[in-house]
Structure 1
Amino acid sequence: MAGLIWVQPVLGTTPLWGNSSTIYAASSQAVKLSEDIITSGAKLQKYQYTVTRSGKQVKVLADVVQIDLTNPYVKLDTMTGKNGQVTTRQSVSGMVKETGAVAGVNGDVFNTSGQGVAMGASVSQGTLVTSPNQLQGMYAFYLDQNRVPAIDSFTFEGNVTAADGSSFPLTGINKEAYQTEPDKGYSHVNAMYIYTSAWASTDRPKDSSTTPTEVLVQNGIIQQISPGAAIPGPVPADGYILRAHGTAANYITTHLQVGQPITSNYALRTVAGGKLVNPADLQMLISGHTLLVDQGKASSFTRSTSGVSGSSAVARTAIGYSKDGKFAYLITAEKNDNSSGLTLAELQGFMTSIGVWKGLDLDGGGSTTLVSRPLGETDATLTFTTTNGGTVQRQVANGVGVYTTAPQGTLKGLTVSGTQTLLIGQEATYSLKGYDTYYNPIDTSTISPTWKSSNGNVVWTGSTFKAVQPGTAQLTAVSGQASASTKVTVLGADSLSSLSLGAQSGPLQAGAQVTITPKAKLKTGSTVDVPASALKWEFKGMKASVGGGVLTVNSINPGVKVAYAIARYDGFSSVIAFSAAGSQSWEDFEKLAYSIEFTGSPAQVTGQAQVVSSGDNHGKVLQLSYDMTAGTGSRFAYAQFNGTSGRAIPDGASAMSIDVMGDSSLNWLRAEIDNNGKTTYVDIAKQVDWTGWKNINIDLSPYGLASGAKLKRIYLVNLEDGQDERAMIGSVSLDNIQFTVPSGGDDLYPDAKMTMTVGQKSYFLNGQKKAFDAAPVIKDGTTYVPIRYVVDSFGGSADWIASSKRITVVRGSVLIDLFVGSKEFVLNGGRQTAEVTPLIVNGRTLVPLRLVSERLGIFVNWEQKTKSITLQS
């Protein structure tokens, strides 16, 4: 453990990590990268798991919370929505914070367009919160009161008994409407359900295709009977509501009366063995999807996996336990910039490799989330970036929480809290945190440490540490006889595989601005934000300045048609090319040649997307009207362009302009772009807070739109949070969509033809003879040329930096950095590898001809007989 120091002996304490001597080692495919204690009895383990896809090895990151079930101070429980209720979906972070968990993952599968209720059974502290849906092959993980883990498939059975001694079967508890299996019937037809105060919605349930008869029961006495209609309002805390239809409703009207007592009994029954399980005998239960691992081996899937994208590599969540029953595992596989996710079959392989004896699939994809509390910290934080984009978490139906019941211990150790990697020029603050004998945080506010760094890679400024040069430094906090240290790595150019600036192009005009969002992808696969102070800028063909995340063109050099802003991190380059730009009309809706359709999400959101006459000088416009009064959660109204295909955006588009007639709804207006298979979301207006027409300009440079990008949808969002502040019904209109695009591109350069011969110091350019200072040569079958003459002839430029032996070549929108003696080169911010390296011959630098010229858009022809080379553009 980095930063660990023992400051006093611990005597007579309970073992903090159980008594088990069984340790499951990862297979050769699963490599444990780190292991960190969360609390007494719970560890966070990070693995790198190697799988083979399409003949290639792929490394995936997986995170596992291992829980020692023999440790009396740690427990598992089921987390639900806001205020411990169902139908109130909540992020995993929200559930962890609300319940005081030290770690948590998302739980059961649920209908994302429904009311947000788990499909399976769930038990929290012996209380059955939801019963299982009548579905085939669904499994659940549970712990009994002795903390013994098990996984089974369950059905629900129960009944109510009236004062006259008659009874009627119960179908379930706290369930939304669904289709049963295998008969595909309606869940609430001729059925009776119990709804408890854990059910937050006043709809019990929505869209059930049945008319309810409801009975209010408090303290075991019938308080109200409502034939053919729901009882208004929520379920009281001291009672429940029976919801019935058909034959069940007939039973109520025949056998039940207000003021009479009524009893209800229910239990879970295992599908395989028929064992009756009383929820009160369970510590917790969480349901999921298919069984994945049984007896330490991959099991057959117990239901179809198409609905959970079983054969696709996506983010995954799973739960399981060890053969001896001493360990439970909460398992997640990452799908983000650093990891490509797992198929279900790959997940099975990973689970067996870390010692899972029996395990099942929980909800995955966009739901996969892991939150954990670092040692010494008071709050749990997101453990890895989510599929939904960075720190965005899906609101889910339920989850599994890890809790500590340990008493306050004495100070056991100190840790240094702060980032473990820094970029050159970056400043960071660190703090001293403490933990007690049970690995829970302890107050260290009275400790005032002295800070120091082991070397000049990182220096102490008096208030922060600043990264100065690549390498590793040890940062130490000292207080009296106690100290704690952590290693910090300053990343250099050698650590980078790519550097992106967000913007790739911009308009060449004084006053033009592009947004800069520098990010570096490391060779390890992770992506980091690059601070502005870490970059050094070079400007070719213009004067510019960078500040506040914006690059501003101040002036343009005379005669320049293409200018460049080159950013370097420790010498590693990326470029933004600026060229003359103009506005291109994309759609004015006067003569529409493709379809525009309305879609809503959830399905209850209705509306229209149609071209209508505006009745003013805008002529025909696209009107997007919406009704979001139905449905739950965040709601979306889409105008979808050209079916599901979208419509092409002009290549090189750096900005977008659109006229919007607002409705003061305060809804969020966005555009969805297919960026060569990757979905990109562009904000048009965070809030539609105006009425009438308004022209909006959007800077597209941060989004890195590639050639072939398509605009698929423009849509309104009514977020679940603060929903009561925004209008549910309204209409906006769109007109005059335009894009700012470069004018000219490669046509900015005149046609040219260059002919040279190996061994000769002369060449012909457009028929005119000129002189080299170094002749082209052939070495090991590769032709090398003095590249400056080539790029100068075709409208580019080349620079030689002697100190780093670097050749920088630019032409059009391309920048190439090559290094003498190195096969690695940098092309537009991405590290690549060639088969040969640049050479120095007789004091002159020569580069491989084809390596450079073809990447600059220059055609090369080799004539073997005459050993002549012809270049043409």
Structure 2
Amino acid sequence: MLLRHDKALRIAAVTGKKLLVITLAGTIIWAQPVMGFMIGGGQSYTALAASTTAQAVKVGEQIITSGARLLKYEYNTTHAGVAKKILADVIEVDLKNPNVKLDVMTGKGGQFATRQSVLGMTQETGAVAGVNGDFFNTGLEGAPLGPQVSQGVLMSSPSQLQGMYTFAVTNNGTPVIDEYTFEGSVTAEDGSTFPLAGINKAAYTPEPNGGYSHVDAMYIYTSAWKAIDRPINSSTTPTEVLVQNGVITQISNNASLPMAVPQDGYILRTHGKAADYVRTHLAVGQKITANYQLRSATTQKLVDPSSFQMMIGGHTILVDQGKASAYSRSVSSISPSSYVARTAVGYSKDSRYAYIITVEKNTNSDGMTLTELQDFMTQVGVWKGINLDGGGSTTMVNRPLAETDTVLTFETSNGGTTQRAVSNGLGVFSVAPQGTLKGLIVSGPKQLFIGQQASYSLKGYDTYYNPIDASNIKANFKSSNANMVWTGGGFKAAKAGTATITATSGQASAAMDVKVIGANDIKSLTVGNQTAPLQAGSTISVPVTATLQDGQTISVPNESIQWELIGFQGSSKDGQLTVTSVSPNAKVGYAIARYDGFSTVVVLSAVGENVWEDFENVNYPINFTSNVPEVTGNVSITPGTGDHSNSKVLQLQYDMTAGSGKMYAYAQLNGTNGKTISSPATSMSIDVMGDSSLNWLRAEVLDKDNKTVYIDLAKQVDWTGWKRLTVDLTGYNIGYPAKLKRLYLVNVEEGQDERARTGAVAFDNIKFTVPSEGIDATLPKNTVQMVLGQKSIIVGGKKQSMDVAPTLKNNSTYVPIRYIMDAFNGSAQWNANTKTITVMRGSKLLQITVGQTDFILNGKRQKSEVAPMIIQGRTLVPLRLVSEQLGLDVNWEQKTKTITIHS
């Protein structure tokens, strides 16, 4: 059965989809090459053998709505011989449940070429859950490569790419996984016909013969296509025909029509032979019809797109007949053997359940190989399944029970809550009627820091597990213990531990456990700026971030941090630290941020951040280079744009379309010599104008020992416009003076289809902050000698008495720390309540606790083999632990039992 195109137009008009069009520039055919999608097609590619020992274990379950639930899994396996627990999430949808349905979500306004995050799509469409969908070329408009059917309307036709499978659900709720091809034609008033190549397609390289998708071809573009070109980078100049209500109303010869596609029509975009057909057979005022259908590769039968409730394109088949399948096309572009985030969809043997699957790649999960994904899918009940776009695109959102908004199900591999804007997504929709109140839950944060206040409310859900208004239900709240204190309008976290919050209304009640984070839950505390100028009047931003033992990274609220200021006077408010005055003779200051006994520090010194390069007066050569001869580009000093329009910037333009493999685009400073960074630096900041290419941004430094150091500036350039990047350099072990040789972009081979190969970025205002080594270098030199068992110490050749002698216990030497710190321009504080010693010297803040082998150095928890101890009422610390962490050298003379310490 053929589908008349005017039927599709009427449906599209109801959904309010629109299209804007501008005239295509230029008249030369083959103006530029089309960006290809993937290399390789074919019928069968062998899958690697899946693990036989890995096990998928369900660890959680949440109801989303009637007919849909979120299942949380751990996949226990080994990576490189190390045991791993990979996190995976499955949305199970009951296709026989009349209260739920699947559909495709698109970009903003339901249009192509307006990429949108999955969370944005669900919020716009009202979906209760969703994942990212089809593959798309990130360098083009962002239209899906495969077919898309929504509400029975074929919005996008399948591309001519081999082995690309699709997932669909028929109008009677039956899931289908198959390959489809597109067949269609237009019929002119004179009875002549011309074949249609597709609907709403971006430019691509057809398989298996290659070439250019839009050459000699006729395509339909509907109001679902929003891009200003139809399409960009097609290497063809169009002749376009506007059809409204089945009648030709405009023809633009060798040019695009300068208009948006109206709701009551479509535009035929033609080139070459198709344009010749237009000039020969079509005229304004004549009638024309468009008919098209899909053909199943499995049955070879024609299929009416309107027989599908929805359809979304994917990639290779992964599972068939409940077993791992051979790949249907090359998988080299989707990193088959790498541990990455992945997305897939499939259905059960009885065709009742659809399974929407994501694999997490974040601080809590290592990702999966493609064969591991196949194995996981078979373990959770997938009978037949395909791969969807994965990697950085992998995103799942769901609506928690009784809530009205969707939230991220897990941290994305792009970092925390950062989501990639994608071409489309697979959404879960509730179509249930309004039900009656079924249950109540407590709504509010499940983790708090001590001192943090939060409000909690009672929310309800109906018989279909959809949110229901519970605002008229009055509830009384209480906490199970003193960890949480009711303040009248909410709860305040009082001390570490877990409390159960209970809301009661009449005979009904609901409860939720809340974790109050304590020092033992923290792996590290980090301040946004770890160094600052010791200067009256200076103000710095000091946001504090906690990394928990389970890998979570959370911002610590200002009210939960207690600041201790040493060497200066000042104040902290709303995440800002202000220096009001500097103590006499103070050369270094410490702003110690404490949370529940866990400390980190901002070290202040007379020297702060300095501008290393602003590109206003560059007097050395800057040039473009690459590791691949086919990669071309240009580096230049140009006027800035946006908020940098009043300054000069370094611009890096690149074109990697002709290259292959791992490709670099370098902005090389001062030939092969680089520009000198004379002073040690703890951090580097740089303003970068991004191009949303998703390429990897790095800097290359050569240190004083001729060691090359690669600094990650941004794992992905996922922004457009100017953005300031700040990088902590303390972990790179750079020897100074060093040289910054290159700023560059990397397009890695794995997942290359997700990143743009052409673009431009710019750099400005490179700054370096005075490093801890610079402060330490100003400390005076000294030598100290002690003898085991003797209550004396020789400092700089002068003998002094001590009230406790060094001692040897369990092959470790213990010493009184105060005397050593006095000798080496440091200080030590004793907290009798917590039995904690805080030691400060130069750039270092060391926190050690009696009886504990854990210690904290500049906010990072570390492990030692020995712990401080109390002997005869005196606190002694392990000498080697303290000396190594504070940069002191220790010598031991066995014969005389003499300890010599020098700086």
Which band: TM-score by shorter chain?
0.7 to 0.9
Q: In the alignment, what sits opposite 2:713?
A: 679
Kept in 2: contact 1:202–1:233 (CA 8 A): no
Question: What are the superposed Cα offsets for residues 558-586 of structure 1, whole Å, 9 maximum, x if unpaired?
Answer: 22222211112111111111122156552
2:159 aligned with 1:133: yes
CA distance in 2, matches of 1:644, 1:672: 20
Quick one: which amino acid aligns to residue 409 of structure 2? T
| 1:701-716 matched pairs, under 5 angstroms | 704-706=728-730
Quick one: which amino acid aligns to residue 98 of structure 2? P
2:87 aligned with 1:87: no
How many angstroms does 1:782 deviate by? Answer: 2.4
How many angstroms does 1:399 deviate by? Answer: 0.8
Distance 1:501 1:621, change over 3 A: closer
CA distance in 1, matches of 2:716, 2:277: 56
How many angstroms does 1:869 deviate by? Answer: 2.8
One of 312, 318, 321 as aligned partner of 2:347: 321
Q: In the alignment, what sits opposite 2:622?
A: 595
| 1:540-551 matched pairs, under 5 angstroms | 540-551=566-577
Kept in 2: contact 1:672–1:712 (CA 8 A): no
SS at match of 1:509: coil
CA distance in 2, matches of 1:195, 1:732: 35
| 1:100-119 matched pairs, under 5 angstroms | 100-119=126-145
| 1:659-678 matched pairs, under 5 angstroms | 677-678=711-712
Distance 1:778 1:190, change over 3 A: same
Q: In the alignment, what sits opposite 2:98?
A: 72
Quick one: which amino acid aligns to residue 797 of structure 1? S
Quick one: which amino acid aligns to residue 45 of structure 1? L
SS at match of 1:791: helix
Q: In the alignment, what sits opposite 1:298?
A: 324
How many angstroms does 1:185 deviate by? Answer: 0.5
Q: In the alignment, what sits opposite 1:767?
A: 797
How many angstroms does 1:312 deviate by? Answer: 3.7
One of 519, 530, 533 as aligned partner of 1:504: 530
How many angstroms does 1:497 deviate by? Answer: 1.3
Distance 1:612 1:437, change over 3 A: closer
SS at match of 1:112: coil
Q: In the alignment, what sits opposite 2:846?
A: 816
2:848 aligned with 1:827: no
How many angstroms does 1:401 deviate by? Answer: 1.0
Q: Which runs of no fewer than 5 residues in structure 2 stay unpaired?
A: 1-51, 627-631, 641-645, 655-664, 700-708, 735-739, 746-759
Distance 1:294 1:643, change over 3 A: farther
2:411 aligned with 1:377: no
Measured on the aligned residues, the alpha-carbon RMSD in Å equals 3.9
Q: In the alignment, what sits opposite 2:30?
A: none
SS at match of 2:777: helix
SS at match of 2:291: strand
Q: In the alignment, what sits opposite 2:581?
A: 555
CA distance in 2, matches of 1:280, 1:496: 55
Distance 1:768 1:731, change over 3 A: closer
Distance 1:760 1:606, change over 3 A: closer
2:53 aligned with 1:53: no
Distance 1:493 1:648, change over 3 A: farther
Kept in 2: contact 1:496–1:521 (CA 8 A): yes
CA distance in 1, matches of 2:307, 2:638: 62
How many angstroms does 1:41 deviate by? Answer: 0.8
Question: What are the superposed Cα offsets for residues 679-735 of structure 1, whole Å, 9 maximum, x if unpaired?
Answer: 35999x9999xxxxxxxxx998x76454659797699xxxxxxxxxxxxxx999968
CA distance in 1, matches of 2:369, 2:671: 26
CA distance in 2, matches of 1:620, 1:202: 31
How many angstroms does 1:423 deviate by? Answer: 1.0
Kept in 1: contact 2:685–2:727 (CA 8 A): no
Kept in 2: contact 1:502–1:703 (CA 8 A): no
Kept in 2: contact 1:752–1:766 (CA 8 A): yes
Kept in 1: contact 2:133–2:389 (CA 8 A): yes
**Farther-moved stretch of structure 1 (70-79 vs 533-542):** 533-542
Distance 1:511 1:860, change over 3 A: same
Distance 1:676 1:451, change over 3 A: farther
CA distance in 2, matches of 1:202, 1:769: 83
SS at match of 2:146: coil
Distance 1:608 1:863, change over 3 A: closer
One of 735, 738, 741 as aligned partner of 2:770: 741
CA distance in 2, matches of 1:612, 1:97: 39
Kept in 2: contact 1:651–1:706 (CA 8 A): no
Kept in 1: contact 2:168–2:310 (CA 8 A): yes
**Farther-moved stretch of structure 1 (827-836 vs 120-129):** 827-836
Kept in 2: contact 1:81–1:90 (CA 8 A): yes
Quick one: which amino acid aligns to residue 431 of structure 2? T
Distance 1:127 1:222, change over 3 A: same
Distance 1:131 1:731, change over 3 A: closer
One of 501, 513, 536 as aligned partner of 1:475: 501
Question: What are the superposed Cα offsets for residues 459-511 of structure 1, whole Å, 9 maximum, x if unpaired?
Answer: 11111111111122221222222222211121211111111122211112222
Kept in 2: contact 1:160–1:167 (CA 8 A): yes
Distance 1:537 1:620, change over 3 A: closer
**Farther-moved stretch of structure 1 (843-852 vs 272-281):** 272-281
Quick one: which amino acid aligns to residue 66 of structure 1? E
CA distance in 2, matches of 1:250, 1:773: 102
Quick one: which amino acid aligns to residue 134 of structure 1? Q
SS at match of 1:789: helix
SS at match of 2:109: helix
Q: In the alignment, what sits opposite 2:27?
A: none
Quick one: which amino acid aligns to residue 378 of structure 1? T
One of 280, 284, 297 as aligned partner of 2:306: 280
SS at match of 1:581: coil
CA distance in 2, matches of 1:583, 1:412: 59
Q: In the alignment, what sits opposite 1:839?
A: 869
CA distance in 2, matches of 1:611, 1:378: 48
One of 339, 356, 369 as aligned partner of 1:330: 356
2:267 aligned with 1:253: no
Q: In the alignment, what sits opposite 1:848?
A: 878
CA distance in 2, matches of 1:502, 1:367: 28
Question: What are the superposed Cα offsets for residues 267-318 of structure 1, whole Å, 9 maximum, x if unpaired?
Answer: 2223355343321121111112233333334334433334334444333322
One of 667, 672, 681 as aligned partner of 1:652: 681
Q: In the alignment, what sits opposite 2:703?
A: none
How many angstroms does 1:442 deviate by? Answer: 1.0
TM normalised by structure 1 equals: 0.83
Kept in 2: contact 1:201–1:234 (CA 8 A): no
Distance 1:262 1:92, change over 3 A: same
Q: In the alignment, what sits opposite 1:398?
A: 424
CA distance in 2, matches of 1:139, 1:539: 63
One of 545, 561, 567 as aligned partner of 1:535: 561
Q: Which runs of no fewer than 5 residues in structure 1 stay unpaired?
A: 1-25, 600-604, 614-618, 628-637, 689-697, 716-729
Quick one: which amino acid aligns to residue 610 of structure 1? I
Quick one: which amino acid aligns to residue 110 of structure 1? F
How many angstroms does 1:102 deviate by? Answer: 1.2
Question: What are the superposed Cα offsets for residues 128-187 of structure 1, whole Å, 9 maximum, x if unpaired?
Answer: 111112222322111122222222222222223334444332221111111122322100
CA distance in 1, matches of 2:845, 2:211: 63
| 1:137-286 matched pairs, under 5 angstroms | 137-286=163-312
**Farther-moved stretch of structure 1 (538-547 vs 117-126):** 538-547
Quick one: which amino acid aligns to residue 764 of structure 1? I
SS at match of 1:788: helix
| 1:338-357 matched pairs, under 5 angstroms | 338-357=364-383
Q: In the alignment, what sits opposite 2:810?
A: 780
**Farther-moved stretch of structure 1 (508-517 vs 376-385):** 376-385
Distance 1:135 1:457, change over 3 A: same
Kept in 2: contact 1:596–1:610 (CA 8 A): no
CA distance in 2, matches of 1:862, 1:454: 55
How many angstroms does 1:406 deviate by? Answer: 0.7
One of 745, 754, 757 as aligned partner of 2:784: 754
SS at match of 2:134: coil
Q: In the alignment, what sits opposite 1:691?
A: none
CA distance in 1, matches of 2:800, 2:507: 76
CA distance in 2, matches of 1:705, 1:583: 14
